[in-house]
Structure 1
Amino acid sequence: MIKVMTSAERHTVHNGGIHGEFSFSFGEYEDPHNEFFGSLLAHNEYVLEPKQRMERSYHHDLIMVYFVLDGTLSYEDDTGERIELGPGSVYVVNTGTGGAHTQKNEDETRSVRYLQLWLLPEELGQEPTHHYAEFTREQRLNQLFPVASGVKGESGATLQLDARLYSTILETGGRVSHSVAEGRRVHLYVVNGNVEVTTDEGVYQLSAGDTARIHQCEEIQVKGIAAEGASEWIAIDLP
């Protein structure tokens, strides 16, 4: 089955120079019918205007994935980790036993746009870890490319969970397909452009900001259908 959530259905927050779009219950947004999808607990998109920062917060036993779309995101936490993340960067933080962290935009003129995913790890109480990877447009063009994975030997930042995060840029008319194993599910999100998603249940057209939650489906096909330019999207295959 497939459930499509349009961009307009996401919860939107504005806090000064911070803009957020939430696909699941998060912070002050509480919806008992929209709290998680398998082990995916949160999927947020943020835009930080110049010199803006997120409030420092404490978390434990979460896998937090940051995927930068535009601009440069500065991440830091109380383990001493400090890193600058540019476009195409994927950064995976397993908070484990816990820690406080923040993200900020130190640029004086340019905004930063990024995705944040929260997942439930397979084991609790681990030591905090950080994993970084960076990818070009060419690597993701017209193919389903893993940018983070819990499968040993695969490319991408390491996930401490049996899941894969894919990033794809499809030219108009370009197609990719993905087989979904029994008991697995796929969360697909359109970053830019327009795509056509075909499953056992039918054909669905998605625009930027739309998501599709797909479960109990054997095969997914995605086609780029933007009138101009390419279409960018991510998909996470997870338990």
Structure 2
Amino acid sequence: MAQTILHRAETRGHANHGWLNSYHTFSFAGYQNPARVHFGVLRVLNDDTVAGGMGFGTHPHDNMEIISIPLSGDLEHKDSMGNVGIIRKGDVQAMSAGTGVAHSEKNHNRDQEVKFLQIWVFPNKRGVQPRYDQQSFREEDRHNQFQQVLSPNPDDAGVWIHQDAWFHLGKLDAGFATEYQLKKAGNGVYAFVLEGDVTINGQTLHRRDGFGIWETDRLDIRADSNAEVLLMEVPMAV
């Protein structure tokens, strides 16, 4: 029997710092909820909006896989490995912090907000050489299908991280139904609804709802309106 956990959008932690408006699915910074620390190795899922010209100053990370997915606007990245770049909607960025890395992220534009997902995943090995990965994806390739944007394999589609995790993005028309087959036995999937309404394994979900499911090998997914969904398949054992 599949196990599930439902996190409605309005139950997330929230911090509005003026320049940063952030919603936390899992415990983060000032939001600490012992019932919502992680889903398997998925540790952080932050839904961030950063005001024009503002951003996060240089700060350190170690032994964490950090994924950024812009939803609108342009996010400027700099890090201690010498990487400088801008990620936009359609791009996915992954950074293995490993033995330690420092980076900064800021809104590249002064006249518009940038919205992005900041996701942290526990790695399956500690002390790796820090690394940076960024790719652009054609949004039409996720129309009524799930486009793989992250995997554990450098030779597979998408960016890669040090974990047996797969991320897929789907942009689904109202009424479209499909299924997702898990890649690895024992993994679970955390679905995050970016836009619209969907039903997954009988559970109705709305914009910014999160739904975790494990002890199953497939998901049945139906779009109840035009919808965008992020599926994050991750190991359940930390």
Structure-2 separation of matches of 1:71 and 1:63: 23
TM-score (norm 2): 0.94
Structure-1 separation of matches of 2:57 and 2:13: 19
Cα drift, residue 178 of structure 1: 1.3
Secondary structure at the residue paired with 2:55? Answer: coil
Larger displacement relative to structure 2 (144-153 or 11-20) = 144-153
Counterpart of 2:94 (choices 92, 98, 101) is 92
Secondary structure at the residue paired with 2:104? Answer: strand
Number of aligned residues: 232
Deviations along 1:48-104, one digit per CA (max 9) or x if unpaired, are 111111143211011000011101011111221111001111000001110211110
Cα drift, residue 2 of structure 1: 1.1
> RMSD of the alignment, in Å?
1.2
Cα drift, residue 152 of structure 1: 4.8
Cα drift, residue 36 of structure 1: 0.9
Q: Rate the CA distance shift 1:189–1:60 in 2: closer, same or farther, 3 A.
A: same
Secondary structure at the residue paired with 1:56? Answer: strand
Counterpart of 2:186 (choices 183, 186, 197) is 183
Match of 1:173 in 2: 175
Counterpart of 2:103 (choices 94, 101, 106) is 101
Equivalent pair of 1:144/1:176 in contact (CA under 8 Å): no
Q: Does 1:223 align with 2:225?
A: no
Structure-1 separation of matches of 2:95 and 2:178: 29
Q: Which runs of 5+ in 1 are unaligned?
A: none
TM-score (norm 1): 0.94
Match of 1:234 in 2: 230
Counterpart of 1:139 (choices 138, 141, 144) is 141
Secondary structure at the residue paired with 1:165? Answer: strand
Deviations along 1:110-142, one digit per CA (max 9) or x if unpaired, are 111100110111111111101111112211111
Structure-2 separation of matches of 1:105 and 1:153: 31
Deviations along 1:123-173, one digit per CA (max 9) or x if unpaired, are 111111011111122111111111011135321011221110111100111
Equivalent pair of 1:151/1:163 in contact (CA under 8 Å): no
Structure-1 separation of matches of 2:145 and 2:67: 21
Counterpart of 1:217, as a letter, is T
Larger displacement relative to structure 2 (82-91 or 154-163) = 154-163
Equivalent pair of 2:14/2:31 in contact (CA under 8 Å): no
Structure-1 separation of matches of 2:150 and 2:68: 10
Q: Does 1:193 align with 2:196?
A: yes
Match of 1:48 in 2: 50
Counterpart of 2:51, as a letter, is E
Match of 2:127 in 1: 125
Secondary structure at the residue paired with 1:54? Answer: strand
Structure-1 separation of matches of 2:7 and 2:34: 16
Secondary structure at the residue paired with 1:138? Answer: helix
Q: Which runs of 5+ in 2 are unaligned?
A: none
Counterpart of 2:207, as a letter, is A
